[in-house]
Copies of this chain bind each other. A is one copy, B any other.
């Protein structure tokens, strides 16, 4: 199987397959005489494993650990569960952060006329004009962590 076929069979782009190889996550079964990568069913299975793990939000580093556990027949399910629960906590923390942003933004947008006039509570808030109608909680009170939290949070 060529890289293109392996890509089609796994749903992982050829570009990514090469990248995963580069970072030591997977290796082709071999190479043809003309240096083409050759894959078998096992490799495709690994690629699908990676893809599924990524779709559940695991980082490539976590995915690598999970992959090793998968291939280690003497693993304990506790080790796997630890990674999963840690990841769940991470996701929930990020969800909470974003929900804080949404809460604040909805409040501000609600207070904003959205008309032809220039007066805008959203800009007032950003400019540090102080609370619009009530508190400046949500993402506001933890702006330090929030700023950090917002980092890389964009698709």
- Residues in B with CB closer than 8 Å to A109 are 81, 84-85, 88
Interface residue from B52, B87, B105, B146 paired with A143 (Cβ < 8 Å): B52
A3 on interface, CB distance cutoff 8 Å = no
- Residues in B with CB closer than 8 Å to A80 are 112, 120, 122-123
Interface residue from B51, B84, B112, B144 paired with A112 (Cβ < 8 Å): B84
Main secondary structure on A side of the interface with B:
helix
A73 on interface, CB distance cutoff 8 Å = yes
- Residues in B with CB closer than 8 Å to A106 are 88
| A122 CA / B117 CA spacing, docked (Å) | 55
Please count how many residues in chain A sit with their CB below 8 Å of the partner chain's CB atoms. 71
9 extra interchain contacts, Cβ-Cβ under 8 A, other than A57-B98, A77-B112, A80-B123? A11-B143, A55-B150, A77-B113, A77-B116, A81-B114, A84-B109, A84-B112, A153-B153, A153-B155
